[in-house]
Chain A
Amino acid sequence: MSLALDESAAPILEVREVAVHFSGLIAIASMSFAVPEGEIVSLIGPNGAGKTTAFNVITGFLKPTGGKVLFRGTDLTRLSSNRIAGLGVVRTFQRTSIFAGCTVFDNVLTGMHRQGRAETWGALLRLASVRAETERMRAAVAEILAFVGLSHRADELAGNLAYGEQRLLGIAIALAADPKLLLLDEPAAGLNPSETEAFMGVVQRIRDRGVTILLVEHDMRMVMTISDRVVVLNHGRIIAEGPPEVIRANPDVIQAYLGQGVKHAKG
């Protein structure tokens, strides 16, 4: 474990002094943190703290007012979102995001886009290479569906899935894009305890596949159980950073965030 930590000293992602202003409103004042390769890092903070905004900046859905985001040394703030995904930085969305009108299988197949090469001419001429590629991708889709436990729903329209299944599908689509760094925005939001439990397993198994994970999550039990490191954001500033046990004991954090959780738990 400690050996793995040493090896992963070089961060896969470095957020440097990122600031985001929305016409006067300061969503992120100045944010810096790093994600070591192979770890699960959680970004926590109360609603409106700027977590989703941070995700939008990292994945190119939003240009920051200032600062840099380095992925293995490449500045992501200059790239379009699809180019960033092309580098292996893939995110999920806080609000369930799927291709509702397509089958579950096709959802994941679409997610495999960047693992394919077929373009217009290859498709029109039905080249052998294109057919072989399709076969490969279909096999990979089946594997991913089995991984998240949605194989039995493959032919169902994604829009017809239950909420929890749609959340899983969102992750399956992201996995299909072959992420090196996966950003999960409140993946367990709205799930019941047993579903959350299963979800934790999925997230850990994704990490075990060698995918680095940046997680935004409100379920503290999940965060404290699976994270290697926690970054706490409040009002657009980082107020604490460290391993879960340290964060749990930090008075500022308890004040800003966990305190609410305790109250909720009691009430």
Chain B
Amino acid sequence: MTTRLLPWLFVLVMAVGPLWLGDQYILYVLTSTGIFIIGAMSLNLLLGYTGQLSLGHIAFFGIGAYTSALLSLGFDLDLGGAEPFVLGPQPVWVAFLGGILVAALFGFLIGKLAFRVRGAYFVIVTISFAQVMRMVALNWVDLTEGPMALNNIPPLSVWLPWDGVIPLYRKEYNYLLVLAVAVVCFLVIQRLVQSRVGRALVALRENESLARSVGIDVTRYLVVATVIAAGMAGAAGGLYTHYIRIVDPDVFMFIYTVTMVIMVVTGGKGTLAGPIVGGLAFGILPEVLREVARPEVQWIIYGVAMIVVVFFLPQGMVPAVKNWFAGRRKRVAATALGLRKETSA
């Protein structure tokens, strides 16, 4: 019972706590960390559950960011015809959903490709994919403004009973929105991995031949996972783009994928809470360090912290805590049993 309520208690604390503190900087840090945590959760679906390392995961994030930005700003495309194709600015939520869809579509293509390539080749394909996306964003200046970046991206909006439809300029609202999207993503992943589909994904991770031998169409489920993961990363990208309100090709940088991988691995890949725990720890740590240390030292501490976690808790923080509790329960049960034996004797 407590384990069922615990996640909701956590959400409640996360919803109320930062607002109650009211510090704009803390809100900013938590919002951007939250966006990355959504990305990390989606990466975990692939890395943690299907066992496929997508080292180009930021590509889906960037595609979501650019698509949502472009749709909300409107754009024209010279396709070589007489008239350029012109699309006016779309409502922000239409743009946001569009970003998710386009990212998911690319996820579908990458997932299909993974049919032929697994393991190391999958890693290479995904890295290259992110690099290609970065080149496109840099060089297709007509569409993306290249290194000049897309500016003045409108914020997301929300309908409030007391205000009507308002654009989300305030940090509080953006923060709550990110939290809400994170909760939805969490529930989607939770329901998925606890289902027949999720068991098929884990079967692919654990033993692909055995999975096929019992009739699991591993390719199909890998595509399902990639599509959902890509769509979620696209949603994170959309949140990012409408929050920061500027997007440039650097959004595709490799370091962001690495950040998400660190969040997943330190928290515990293949666990539901892992990316959240790892994400909070390693998303907030740089901001804390910024207060107390010089830049060079910051990165050294960050790296050492990461190595310490990976070295001492190779499964990640969440499994370590779980094992500790399980061990304690066992010890308690053993003592209870011992007592009962003594009294019955």
Which residue on chain B has the smallest CB distance to residue A106?
B199
Q: Considering only CB atoms, which chain A residue lies closest to B193 in the complex?
A: A123
Given A120-B192, A123-B191, A124-B188, decide whether A81 and B212 contact each other with a Cβ distance below 8 A: yes
Take A97-B207, A101-B206, A110-B200 as given contacts and tell me if A174 and B195 are in contact as well, using a CB distance cutoff of 8 Å. no
Query: Does residue A116 face the partner (Cβ distance < 8 Å to B)?
Result: yes
The DSSP consensus for interface residues of chain B is helix
Do B195 and A123 have beta carbons less than 8 Å apart?
yes
B residues in contact with A21, CB < 8 Å: none
Residue numbers in A under 8 Å from B213 (CB-CB): 59, 61, 81, 85, 90-93, 97, 174, 177
Q: What number of A residues sit within 8 Å (CB to CB) of B?
A: 39
- Residue ID in chain B nearest A173 by CB atoms: B214
Contacts of A123 in B (CB 8 A): 191-192, 194-198
Q: Which residue of A lies closest to B210 (CB)?
A: A97
Complex contact B197–A120 (CB within 8 A): yes
Contact assessment for A113 and B215 in the assembled complex, using a CB-CB cutoff below 8 Å: yes
Are B209 and A113 in contact, CB atoms less than 8 angstroms apart?
A: no
Q: Is the CB of A113 within 8 A of B207?
A: no
Chain A min CB distance to B230 (Å):
14
Contact status A113-B192, CB under 8 Å: no
Residues 160-213 of B contacting A (Cβ, < 8 Å)? 188, 191-192, 194-200, 202-203, 205-207, 209-213
The size class of the interface chain B forms with chain A is: 20 to 34
Which residues of chain A have C-beta atoms less than 8 A from B287's C-beta? none
Q: Nearest CB to that of A170 among chain B residues?
A: B210
Tell me whether A99 and B215 are in contact in the complex, defined as CB-CB below 8 angstroms, given that A110-B199, A118-B197 are known contacts: no
Cβ of B46 < 8 Å from any Cβ of A? no
B29 interface residue per 8 A CB criterion: no
Within 112-163 of A, Cβ neighbours of B (below 8 Å) are at: 113-114, 116, 118-120, 122-124, 126, 130, 133-134
Contact of A110 among B188, B203, B224 (CB under 8 A): B203
CA distance in complex: A174, B207 (Å): 14
Q: Is the CB of B209 within 8 A of A61?
A: yes
Contact of B224 among A86, A97, A100, A120 (CB under 8 A): A120
A-B contacts counted at CB < 8 A amount to 103
- State A106–B218 Cα separation when bound (angstroms): 17
- Could you say which residues of chain B place their CB within 8 Å of the CB of A134? 195-196
In this assembly, does A176 line the interface, its C-beta being within 8 Å of a C-beta of chain B? yes
Q: Which of B188, B212, B228 contacts A85 (CB 8 A)?
A: B212
| B216 on the A face (CB < 8 A) | yes
| A59 neighbours in B (Cβ, 8 Å) | 213
Residue of B nearest to A61 (CB): B209
A98 contacts the other chain (CB 8 A): yes
Does chain A have a CB within 8 A of B217? yes
Contact of A124 among B191, B206, B212 (CB under 8 A): B191
Query: What separation, in Å, do the CA atoms of A120 and B211 have in the docked complex?
Result: 18
Beyond contacts A61-B209, A92-B213: 14 other A-B pairs, Cβ-Cβ < 8 A, are: A61-B212, A82-B215, A82-B217, A85-B212, A97-B213, A109-B199, A118-B195, A118-B197, A120-B192, A123-B194, A123-B198, A124-B188, A124-B192, A177-B213
Q: List 13 A-B contacts (CB under 8 A).
A: A80-B212, A82-B215, A90-B214, A93-B209, A99-B210, A100-B207, A101-B206, A113-B203, A120-B192, A122-B195, A123-B192, A130-B196, A173-B210
